Structures are given as C-alpha cells and as structure tokens.
Amino acid sequence: MLSGSGDSDNIEVMKVIKWTADDLELLKRYYPRMGKQWCMDAMCRTEASVRYKAAELGLKIDKESEFFKDFQNRAAQSKIGKKRPEQAEVIKKLHADGKLKKTVKQKEAISRRQKNWFANNPHPKGMKNKNHSEETKQKLKLASTQIFLNRTEEKENDRIMKIAKTKSINGTTAPERKNVTWKGGWREIGGYKKYYRSRWEANYARFLQWLKETGKIKDWKHEPKTFWFEGIKRGCVSYLPDFWVEELNGNDSFHEVKGWMDDRSKTKINRMAKYYPNILLVVIAAKEYKAIEDNFSRMIVDWEGK
C-alpha cells in the first residue's frame, strides 16, 4: 500500500489499487465505526475508492459507536474537518450552479422512503394528507440550505450526538444484512441494543451476560474503550477491543473475538502489548469459541447456531 505523500501521481495510482481480503476486512470492521475519513487515512485510499466500495458492500456509518464518537472528539480537538470561509463560498456557488442537485434515481428513492414512512406514521405536526404551497416549499428549501451553510463544527457535533442518543433509546432503522457469512446485525443483549459485527461476537456477548446473571463475573460492556497508538500515523493507529469484562474481585480485562487472525490483527495485538503493557487482553480464537459453544450454548437463551 502506498504511503500518503499527497502528490497527484500517488493519488492517481491509489485509485486503481485492488482491494485485498485484508483491505475488505478492515473496511467492513472500521467503516461503520470510524467513517470514511478515518478509512481513507488508515488505508491510504482516495475518498471515491472508500465511498464506492463501502456502498458496494452496503456498509453504513454507525454514529452510535463509542469508537466513532471518540474519533469525532479527537477530530474536533485537532480542528479536522473545520469549515473554512472559502469552503462555504464554494458550496454556495455549487448550489447556485445546480451542481449539488440529486439525480433522478436518488430523488425517487428518497420520495419512496418518505411516502412509506408517512403512510404508516402520524405526522408530528398534524400535516398528514396536507400539501405545502409552492411558495412555502421554496421558503423551506432556502431556509434548509442556509442552515446547512451556517452549520458550525460545534453544531454538527451536537447534531450527531442527538442522533446517537435517539438511537440508543429507540434503536435504529438500519436493516440487518442477512445474506452474509459473518451475520452482522443489531441485537438486544443484556438490555442494550447494539450492533454486533458477527454471530460469534453476538454469542460471546450472550455468554458474558450469562456469566453475569449466574454470578461468575461482575459486569461486561461491548466496545466501551478505544486505545490509541500515539505516534503511529498510518495503518493500525488505534484498537477497539470487542468487550470489557470486570471480574468479581474487581480486576478487569478486554476480550477480542477472532474467527481468524490476519496480519493486521496481529499488528494491533502486538501494538496493544507494546503501548498498553498493563492491560490484560484475552483473545477468543476459534478453539476457545468452540469450547464455549460446546459446553454452554444449550444453557444460553437465543444462542445463534450455524
């Protein structure tokens, strides 16, 4: 993979770099948690490359993820993504020239989603089956555009946090992706609705909840903390273990469920040991997972089989 030198020749080369199995695994795991910009930096790829591949795989950004929130906070502190006056002027000009207009297909898809929602839900302001005049529509359009252009970084962060809090209470409208081998999707385990990347990860959460309910551990959480590798600029710059577990004696550890160990996973684990030597990391590989499944799956409610 090329390093991000920033010159135009490298950018053109990066556009045609093929996606390896490791690249796809990285994108699947971190795009929902970290978003497009982080994947671009970590993988040394262009925005178009990351965006199109994510769309092809049906990946969506999970703004409820603690990983994503942590990255957004760090970005805000580093002034990453802060709007500059000249950028606002460019956006205004693009709007004026009509270059930010949605395609016909995009408009039709948005219209279908909106009509379906309003057909099955009451309007919050009593406007169901009523229509705005063309004059009102134009006023709303101009007001919406002005709000977008005037939105500061602080306001944008507040908006994202509001969405995250709403999802944490009401869940999400994002569909589960059923036709995949790893079975990622939303599950409610231990009273919390979270997005689990795989069937193994969800089952291990059920196992931890069973241990908690039977008094064998004190508590557990899914993806509560991100560990950053200070000084690392490319590749594995951070690590988000799957679970945090607190034992009855007060000791804690972090657990990672790994169906298979690739080079990137090995790098993260090695860097974790180097940068955080006092943190106990427990890796649940295929052998350990199978032992848990063989011995405990029959006692655990909603255990997902093959």
191 and 286 part of one domain: yes
Answer whether residue 33 is part of any domain: yes
Q: pLDDT (tens digit, 9 = 90+) per residue, 2-57?
A: 333 333 333 333 334 678 777 788 788 888 877 887 787 777 777 888 888 888 88
Answer whether residue 3 is part of any domain: no
DSSP 226-277: -EE-TT--SS--EE--SEEEE-TTS-EEEEEE-SS--HHHHHHHHHHHHH-T
Contact 260, 198 (CB under 8 A): no
Question: Position of tokens 């951070």?
Answer: 238
The length of the chain, given as a count of residues: 306
Answer whether residue 44 is part of any domain: yes
278 and 202 part of one domain: yes
Residue type, 151: R
What residue numbers bound the domain in which 219 lies?
A: 185-299
261 and 200 part of one domain: yes
197 and 291 part of one domain: yes
57 and 102 part of one domain: no
Q: What is the mean pLDDT of the chain?
A: 76
User: Sorting pLDDT into bands at 50, 70 and 90, what band is 280?
Assistant: very high
By C-alpha distance, which of 195, 196, 194, 198 is closest to 182? 198
Answer whether residue 79 is part of any domain: no
214 and 274 part of one domain: yes
255 and 295 part of one domain: yes
pLDDT for the residue 101: 64
Higher pLDDT, 58 or 212: 212
Answer whether residue 222 is part of any domain: yes
User: Sorting pLDDT into bands at 50, 70 and 90, what band is 201?
Assistant: very high
pLDDT for the residue 76: 58
Q: Count of CB atoms within 10 A of residue 225's CB?
A: 14
pLDDT for the residue 128: 67
Q: Quick check: 93 pLDDT over 70?
A: no
Residue type, 295: N
Q: pLDDT (tens digit, 9 = 90+) per residue, 203-262?
A: 999 999 999 999 999 999 998 888 888 887 777 888 889 999 999 999 999 999 987 778
Q: pLDDT (tens digit, 9 = 90+) per residue, 136-188?
A: 888 888 887 777 777 676 666 566 556 555 544 444 444 444 554 457 788 89
CATH of the domain at 270: 3.40.1350.10
Q: Quick check: 121 pLDDT over 60?
A: yes
| 130, 151, 172 - which closes a domain | 151
115 and 45 part of one domain: no
Answer whether residue 77 is part of any domain: no
- β-pairing verdict for 281-284 and 252-257: parallel
Answer whether residue 287 is part of any domain: yes
Reduced to 3 states (helix: H, G, I; strand: E, B; else coil), residue 68 is helix
100 and 198 part of one domain: no
Answer whether residue 171 is part of any domain: no
Q: pLDDT (tens digit, 9 = 90+) per residue, 95-114?
A: 666 655 667 777 787 788 77
111 and 19 part of one domain: no
40 and 98 part of one domain: no
Residue type, 22: D
By C-alpha distance, which of 79, 30, 15 is closest to 264? 30
Q: How many domains does the chain have?
A: 3
pTM value surpassing 0.85: no
202 and 289 part of one domain: yes
By C-alpha distance, which of 165, 27, 191 is closest to 205? 191
Alpha carbon distance 163, 63 (integer Å): 8
